Amino acid sequence: MSASPTAEEIERLLGDPYDAENPYGFAAAVRRDEQDAFPEELSGALREAGFHLNYLPQEWGGRFESFEHSMVLVRTAARRDLNIMPATMFGITAATCLALHGSPEQQKHAAEILARGGAVGFALSEADHGSDLLANTARLEPTADGWELTGEKWMVGLGRRCEALYLVARTGERGPGAFSAVLLDLPGDVERGPAVPASGMRGIDFAHLRFDRFPVPAEALVGREGQALESVMKAQQVVRVMSMAGSLGCADTALRLTLDFATARRVGRTTVSESPYPRRELAIASAALLAADVTALTAARGIHVFPEVFSVWGCAAKHVVAENTDDALRRCATVLATRAVLRTEGPGNGLFQKLQRDAAIVRVVDTSTLANLRAYAAQLPTLVQEIGLRGAGNCATSHDGETPAHQEHQPIRRLFDLTEPLPPYAPEHLDLTARGNSPITKALFDLAPQLTAQADQTTATLITRLTTTLTQLAEDMATADRDTGLVDAADSFAYLHAATCALLLWWANPTYPLFGTPPGDTRWLAATLAYLLARATGTDPRREAPALLPALDITTRLHTRNQLFCARPEQLTPNPEPATAH
């Protein structure tokens, strides 16, 4: 196996997921879920292969190459059991915070724990305050040798087994600067509450940790006093990128199970997959998944190229991927009907219900849906002001009448061209605000005339709808309610941002067979644009059925070839012929 395993190597290592006796397969995942069991055997096999090192920098003994590479690896493993993600990667938040502001000694200590497969917990939230972080009360009181920590931290991932803990507590009185972070080794006498049962990710312990005048040495302080929330907010941008892999893994397996059922199940003289209503639902689920893949892929590349604007980009991408996954699962459940709720006779013998529960957890594992929207709704007025200016006919052109794609948009092309190598990840360039900068939408308005001219009529119409809807959003913001109106606008903007990413991916890859289609093919693009525009405007995607139906042909072909549902199709372990459904 290579220094950093590939998705295909992970697949070969874990074997046939449909094999009921495979400890790394679907049946084993369901058995663990029924027993609330931690995936010891699965995580052990992947740790041996170095899977857990794919988010750690090389100077920490890790094998990190890029977020794009890591996301594919995690998605490939998570399609078997989402629990592998928290089981091996819950240290990513603490590691990112320490990479930003930790001392060399703290970084070395955390690296040693994580590289050998141990866990470093992350303690931020408190039960009484949720996402209102400024109301948190856990406190570090100064002493002659450092501090004393008193308070309770809520739902710490792997809280019962973590060896060390990155903890945020109050050291001041008010405002974001009132909070500091410490890196603690956890002795056996720390009060760790019992694992908190959750609907999904069963077997992964979320525990409350309680401290009563717990001694904290001075050298445990991470960075400067009062710097903690800055580190945390930047680290959350990274966590959002990787959490999308979990959502995609759930959606991938759910759609495969449903396609198998719909292809084998006969209703009268035809199959479910050829019946008009189920076919339309499968097409919507397919379009939702293709759109989610594009959104996640471009975000994973975008954090390398434009880290300074990721405070907005990461929130938008997380929202779209989580919501699309939810919609895809719901459409699949409609097709499966009664079998979607059977624990022993449905597809996967209970696997579909596990996917639904797990997807609901990963949707909120880093922050709630509303908190995620609010995180960038406040930045929206400055962003849409730029959109409004661009949409008012201010599209830059060169002297010969062509848009300046090659002159001004080389970073954009580098981001979206899948044949281009990514620049090294630079976490020090992450920022708390995008400062009104929206390079993706700027590129859209600059390139729109060129893209419309290159596209077929259906896609050209969708491109015009995209630019028009973005411009209208900017105009509507002037009278939007400053609370719910901003959040609603953020929801719409997220889908329009994702649609823009899909369009620019097509533009930058004229010779690349995206989703296994011929180079330059617009069917996947039209399906993703139509779906995302419907979601952005609150329209039922069923009204876009003619544009969405080709998405089902694409996912069916990828499934037949045993390939991941992604723009860069990865080869999967061949699955057996689906059993005949009666």
State pLDDT tens for residues 252-267: 999 999 999 999 998 8
| 238: CATH | 1.20.140.10
Q: Which of 194, 222, 250 is the last residue in one of the domains?
A: 222
| Residue 410 counted as domain residue | yes
Dump pLDDT digits (tens) for 124-170. 999 998 888 899 999 999 999 999 999 999 999 999 999 999 999 99
The residues near 256 (Cβ < 8 Å, ≥ 6 apart) are: 559, 575
Say if residue 367 is in the same domain as residue 394: no
181, 239: one domain: no
What does the pLDDT look like over 174-219, one tens digit per residue? Answer: 999 999 999 999 987 789 988 888 899 999 989 999 999 999 999 9
Mean pLDDT, residues 475-481 taken together: 80
Q: What type of residue sits at position 254?
A: A
User: What's the confidence (pLDDT) of residue 454?
Assistant: 94
At residue 268, the pLDDT reads 84
User: Residue 421, class by beta-carbon neighbours within 10 Å (0-12 exposed, 13-18 middle, 19+ buried)?
Assistant: exposed
Residues 400 and 444 in one domain: yes
Is residue 409 a contact partner of residue 443, using CB atoms and an 8 Å limit?
yes
List pLDDT tens digits, range 301-352: 999 999 999 999 999 999 999 999 999 999 999 999 999 998 888 888 899 9
- How far is residue 105's CA from residue 185's CA, in Å, rounded to a whole number? 13
pLDDT tens digits, one per residue of 511-551: 999 999 999 999 999 999 999 999 999 999 999 999 999 99
Three-class SS of residue 399? coil
Q: What is the pTM of this model?
A: 0.93
Asked whether residue 48 falls in the same domain as residue 165, the answer is no
User: Domain limits at 149?
Assistant: 120-222
> What would the pLDDT profile of 395-450 be if each residue is shown by its tens digit?
444 434 444 444 568 899 999 999 999 999 999 999 998 888 889 999 999 999 99
| Residue 569 domain flag | no
Are 16 and 64 contained in the same domain? yes
Q: Is residue 109 part of a domain?
A: no
Q: Identify whether residues 334 and 472 lie together within a single domain.
A: no
Q: Calculate mean pLDDT across residues 568-580.
A: 69
Residues 446 and 534 in one domain: yes
Inform me whether the pLDDT recorded for 241 exceeds 50.
yes
Residue 556 lies in a domain: no
Instruction: Please state, rounded to an integer, the average pLDDT across all residues of the chain.
Output: 91
User: Is 111 domain-assigned?
Assistant: no
pLDDT category, 85, cuts 50, 70, 90?
A: very high
Mark whether 197 and 307 lie in a shared domain: no
Query: What are the distances in angstroms from CA 477 to CA 209, 471, 480, 483, 493?
Result: 43, 10, 5, 12, 11
**Residue 156 within any structural domain of the chain:** yes
Model pLDDT, residue 390: 61
- What pLDDT does residue 331 have? 98
Burial track 354-373 (b if 16+ CB lie within 10 A, e otherwise): bbbbbbbbbbebbbeeeebb
Give the position of tokens 């544009």: 547
* Whether 367 and 386 share a structural domain: no
Please say if the pLDDT value at position 392 is more than 70. Answer: no
Mean pLDDT of 369-382: 86
Provide the pLDDT for residue 581: 42
Residue 579 domain flag:
no
213 lies in the same domain as 132: yes
Residue 35: is its pLDDT beyond 90? Answer: yes
Q: Say what the pLDDT of residue 2 is.
A: 46
What's the structural domain count of the chain? 4
**What does the block give as tokens for 518?**
């011929």
Q: Are residues 37 and 130 in the same domain?
A: no
Write the CATH number for 149. Answer: 2.40.110.10
| Assigned domain for 554 exists | no
| Confidence band, pLDDT 50/70/90 cuts, at residue 372 | confident
What is the model's pLDDT at position 409?
Answer: 81
pLDDT attached to residue 71: 95
**Residue where a domain terminates, one of 222, 243, 260:** 222
Q: Which of 90, 107, 135 is the last residue of a domain?
A: 90
Report in angstroms the alpha-carbon separations of 466 from 10, 319, 324, 402, 489. 39, 19, 18, 21, 15
What pLDDT, on a 0 to 100 scale, did the predictor assign at position 575? Answer: 54
* DSSP 3-state percent helix, strand, coil across the chain (nearest 5): 60, 10, 35
Q: Do 384 and 353 sit in the same domain of this protein? A: no
